[in-house]
Structure formats: C-alpha cells, structure tokens
C-alpha cells in the first residue's frame, strides 16, 4: 500500500476491498448478483434513470448495477461506475467491454474524489455507501457532483435483526471463536445506516433535500440448497474472514451448525432468508 493510500481517510477500507474481499467478490460475482440484484433493481427503479442522463454509480463493484443503469440512460446518456477495489473494477470493465455496455469505470474514493462540479444528473449506489470514514463529507462531495435538482438513490441494510441471512453465521461462529463486537451505528460497516434517525441528519446536513426512506423487505437467495448455501455463507458471510483463520476442525463444526440452521429455509426455489433494506432517495437542495 502506498504512503498516499495509507494516509487516505478510508485507508482501511481501501486495503480491505483490494487485499481481502475484492478477488473473492469477483470469483462469486454470479452468486452475489443472484442474491442482491432484485433489491438493487428496486432501488434503480426509484432513481428512474432516463435516456440521455449522466449517472454516477458509487461502490459499483463488479459492474452489474452500472450496466443496468447504462441500458436505461441509452441513447445519449452515460454511466460512470466508481469503486476503490481494483480487482472488481477490472472485472467490471471486462464485463462491460464484452457486453458492449456504454458503462465506464474509475478507481475513486467517493468521499474525496474530485468529481466534476454538476457533472451528473443523478447518483446511485447498491450497498456501496455504508463504509465511509466520514459520511457527511462523502455525501457533501456527491451533492457537489450533481446538477441543481439532481437526484440520489441508494440501497442500504436496515437492522441486523431483520437480516438473518447476514446474522445467522455470526451467531454460530461466535459459539466457537471470539468475534469482535459489531460496529456501532455510524461506524463503517454493512449496518452503519440501519437507523433513519442517524442517516437523515447526515444527508440533510450535506445539503440533500426531500430525503425519503422506503422500507423494502424481501427474501434473499442464499443458495440452491442447504449445502450450497452453507458453502456460500462460509465464503462470503460477515464472519467468513475470521472463520477462515481457524483450524479445519473448527471450520467443520461451524459448517455443520450452519447447515442445520439453513436447512429449514430451503424450498423449491432454493434457500431464501429474510432481508430488509432502506431505499433512500433525495434531491440536491
């Protein structure tokens, strides 16, 4: 990691998404899209991108939301996907080139990147805005990047209790290994924006107006069957990095317990578990 990166406000996240999670998300892109795409598309629908518009996709990852928005702003529009993960950006660029998508991609930290003033009609994100060291600075920077009256729409996770697909593995792993305490509301992490009372003042303080929160509940496809779902969660769940550091016996015990916990959720269309998000919308104030 370069000195410049080490001094960046989001240095820990940059390291994590480049050296720990990036390659893993690339390998499992099809699986994660199967799980997250319905919720992402619901948020895109709320943004309502139109032909000819120029849209910025924050935390674009492997490019799935970017390419969907690119379709909707064609002809005449543009989509710029921004992310801090070089492995995922490389994968996104290759996918877009192969499919002929107009989506383009840049390596950029949305909190600090010097976007063109009023360069976009709208900003979007699917689970890519919960990891900023300073959300207030990030959303103020994004507000500057949109035109007067420009739109914002993003998806973020609600409370842990309403997302058993994420929390089940944590509870099981905690029976075998010492798990760190979960981040507090507001600290970078999947649930940093779980509470409207915390997030609304940040957005309004950053200059966004007409801020609205829509609760969106659904079920998330975790795997084709219980065994498949267990393998996926062992690789991608929030406890996965710590579980991977344990010995084979401990991993086997956690996997067995997880299999038993996921089995009751199996149905004819796979293993589905409850998921709950906010779809947050706003306009430049």
Q: Which residues contact 263 (CB under 8 A, 6 or more apart)?
A: 226
pLDDT for res 7:
64
CA 169 vs CA 187, 257, 258: distances in Å = 21, 9, 7
pLDDT for res 3:
37
pLDDT for res 20:
79
Q: What residues pair up with 267 in beta bridges, in sequence order? A: 270
pLDDT for res 30:
93
pLDDT for res 64:
97
Which stretches of the chain drop beneath a pLDDT of 70? Answer: 1-7
Report domain 3-160+184-221+275-284's class.
alpha beta
Q: Where along the chain do its domains lie? A: 3-160+184-221+275-284
Q: Respond yes or no on whether the N-terminal peptide bond of residue 75 is cis (omega within 30° of 0).
A: yes
pLDDT for res 273:
96
pTM score, two decimals? 0.93
- Cα–Cα distance measured from residue 257 to residue 60, given in angstroms and rounded to the nearest whole number: 33
- Cα–Cα distance measured from residue 134 to residue 131, given in angstroms and rounded to the nearest whole number: 9
pLDDT for res 2:
39
pLDDT for res 75:
97
pLDDT for res 4:
41
């Amino acid at each position: 990691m370069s000195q410049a990166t080490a001094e960046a406000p989001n240095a820990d996240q940059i390291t994590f998404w480049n050296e720990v999670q990036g390659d893993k998300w690339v390998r499992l892109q099809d699986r994660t899209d199967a799980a997250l795409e319905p919720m992402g598309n619901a948020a895109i629908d709320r943004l309502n991108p139109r032909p000819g518009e120029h849209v910025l996709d924050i935390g674009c990852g492997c490019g799935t939301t970017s390419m969907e928005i690119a379709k909707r702003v064609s002809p005449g529009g543009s989509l710029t996907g921004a992310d801090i993960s070089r492995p995922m950006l490389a994968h996104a660029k290759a996918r877009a080139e192969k499919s002929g998508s107009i989506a383009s991609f840049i390596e950029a930290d949305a909190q600090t990147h010097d976007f063109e003033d009023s360069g976009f009609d709208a900003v979007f994100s699917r689970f890519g805005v919960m990891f900023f060291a300073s959300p207030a600075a990030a959303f103020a920077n994004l507000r500057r990047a949109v035109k007067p009256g420009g739109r914002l729409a993003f998806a973020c996770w609600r409370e842990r209790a309403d997302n058993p697909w994420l929390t089940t593995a944590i509870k099981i792993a905690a029976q075998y290994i010492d798990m760190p305490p979960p981040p507090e509301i507001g600290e970078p992490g999947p649930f940093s924006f779980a509470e409207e009372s915390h997030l609304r003042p940040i957005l309004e303080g950053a200059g966004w107006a007409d801020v609205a929160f829509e609760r969106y509940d659904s079920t998330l496809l975790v795997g084709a069957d219980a065994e498949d779902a267990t393998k996926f969660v062992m690789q991608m769940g929030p406890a996965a990095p710590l579980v991977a550091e344990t010995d084979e016996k401990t991993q086997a015990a956690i996997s067995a317990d997880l299999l038993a916990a996921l089995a009751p959720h199996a149905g004819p269309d796979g293993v589905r578990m409850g998921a709950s998000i906010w779809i947050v919308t706003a306009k430049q104030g």
